[in-house]
Chains A and B, each alone.
Chain A
């Protein structure tokens, strides 16, 4: 059998010429790639819309909001408008997943935008906030290393903006040992079940609870709950299972490997299992959910069930535009945060203004991701402003934990950290539905049911937070 590699090359002229040509070609190829990547990377802002067939081709990534009444000045984010902060920086850190197919960098990037606004308008008692962002590719070793990098090398005194599929599981004992109380947008179970993490979102389990709860309220006789097969499916499924059981409605639990390559069979299976009076509730990232819903539409199946539901990731205008009018009042999406298109409050307008002025790194534009980043930064700034004396790990995290009944302007309830053994501070949500390219409210703020044992446990510790007045 011929060897895989050639023998020690006795370079004949012809072979050498060929090899030299190949080497030169490789170098040229490398140069071309470098130039094209450098030149074209600016045009990578992605947006939806098919290139040839349908009518809507949105070219910008920010959805056009209803004309906001007052042009809000971003200087409202800080205490001293127009004054650049020049003191010693307060170092904060964030870890976010960024890999092909899943990117959460918008969240810490929006937090950084908020901090930039604050820094341009007085800072925190004159100190600018510097956010160190580490990205990871769902590799536990890398995530643990990122945490150590933030603490040991970057000397961060607080963690704000973590959004990762598994970071909470990997690092929770590390944060606990060092005394960091993190403010994050959680996904993994430990983001809600440990004392050192409090999230601004509800995460896949409780958001799915909300979607299932809405479906049950429409008196469906069966639930099909389908989710992506990433870590935590059992934990996530337990919530809808409890809700369905309490309502005496049968529930079918499904998982799909992502990325989905056979959306047709997934859609058919879901519809078959749900039946004409059933509901299909999805828990996927927006691209995967879109693929399933579009397949259902192509197959003509969207009306074969009573309703479709989706957890919060579906709550983007991009999805509303891509789906088209057939899904108006057919798809009901759980909204963990107040819908930007129909909320015309000062805070929402400030969010949009900051996004516009400082949020160039936020590729997703207006949507739940950037809203989460905004909210986390908002809470952090609120806490930091109460710190007297030096900004140390102890003082900063004590301030984070002391945040109590704070009106973020983005959530249904007032937000509290507190010294509890677990945290689910956002447990009240609304439901939205697409309406000709936008997400509009279908049901206002509703509490997630205490039938979910984790919610019940949290409410026994922390009580039920008050509803937030519109601001």
Chain B
């Protein structure tokens, strides 16, 4: 077992990784609470935005414009999907709605690989102005983008929690996610609320996509399926508590990196999210909510 000082740098890098998981995880739970849909295409939509931003950057457009375009693309795709397939699937099981987003994921993934083909020796990368500059903790340097990634997770957690709970629009969203028809009979403008929810979710996905493309890699496969590891945090929080999702994601990231110096376990460290999710789901007490297939927000 390595000495404690060996673990220190991994705590820092683990926090950064946890921030990455938190971005997707929190985004997924927020979307679920607002629309009732587990938006598995979150990563793919963000990747599409990031790749579009990269493409514009290659053509010489300024960085800030590309970032805006990234968010806009993600928002547009998400809004489009929500407006078309939201009503069609509104009455169905959350499982069916989630599987439908898998359909969107596959469409986007195939499209991205077609448009931005893999070449033999090259890779794309997307940088942000905050990449240069940072500070040191102990022996390693932390750059501002990593800080922003973590901070964004916190801001989204707190902000959307407050929004969903205390604002009228947020409450309407939660009601709609719970039962669309009853909410409509209460006089809530369902279509507009729905559009607002999906639009907000799209913006979130775009911002997350931008940060993840910088923090992880600008690669369609990596970004699209990063959502699988982020699902672990989402599952531990039972798709309900945004704060718990954030905390779980941080724990997963830190634990994952802390396993790195342990030689016997290091090759298995990528299992951390999955093992924790399985343990969290199977060991924690069964709640009444589980016996119904329509999960409540």
Contacts and interface: CB of A to CB of B under 8 A. Distances in A.
Contact of A52 (B14, B129, B267): B129
| Main DSSP-derived SS at the B contact region | helix
A272 B257 CA distance: 14
Given A18-B87, A265-B10, A259 B66 contact: no
A61 interface: yes
B257 A51 contact: no
A265 B260 contact: yes
Contacts of B116: 44, 46
Interface extent on A, as a size class? Answer: 35 or more
Contacts of B256: 262, 265
Contact of B115 (A37, A47, A59): A37
B120 A54 contact: no
A296 B229 CA distance: 24
Given A21-B84, A21-B88, A47 B14 contact: no
Contacts of A50: 57, 125-127, 131
A61 B123 CA distance: 11
Interface stretch (B48-56, B151-159, B188-196): B48-56
A46 B124 contact: yes
B131 A100 contact: no
A60 to B, nearest CB: 10
Nearest to B57: A51
A61 B13 CA distance: 33
B85 interface: yes
Given A44-B116, A51-B57, A261-B222, A318 B257 contact: no
A335 to B, nearest CB: 13
B84 A53 contact: no
A103 B119 contact: yes
B92 interface: yes
A300 to B, nearest CB: 4
Contacts, number: 195
Interface residues of B, number: 70
A287 B219 contact: yes
Contact of B117 (A6, A54, A287, A363): A363
Contacts of A29: 107
| Main DSSP-derived SS at the A contact region | mixed
Nearest to A322: B125
B217 interface: yes
Given A43-B55, A53-B128, A261 B63 contact: no
Interface stretch (A123-131, A364-372, A387-395, A416-424): A364-372
B260 A269 contact: yes
Interface in B31-61: 53-58, 60
Nearest to B100: A22
A66 interface: no
Contacts of B122: 46-48, 61, 286-287, 316, 318, 363-364
Given A46-B116, A52-B64, 5 more contacts: A22-B88, A48-B122, A50-B125, A50-B131, A287-B122
Interface of A: 1-2, 4-6, 18-19, 21-22, 25, 29, 33, 36-37, 40-41, 43-54, 57, 59, 61, 98-107, 254-255, 257, 259-262, 264-266, 268-269, 272, 285-287, 290-291, 294, 298-301, 313, 316, 318-319, 322, 363-364, 367-369
29 contacts: A2-B294, A6-B92, A22-B88, A29-B107, A36-B111, A36-B115, A37-B114, A41-B115, A44-B117, A46-B116, A49-B125, A51-B127, A52-B57, A52-B64, A52-B66, A53-B128, A53-B131, A54-B127, A107-B120, A259-B221, A264-B17, A264-B257, A272-B261, A287-B219, A291-B123, A316-B121, A318-B121, A363-B122, A367-B120
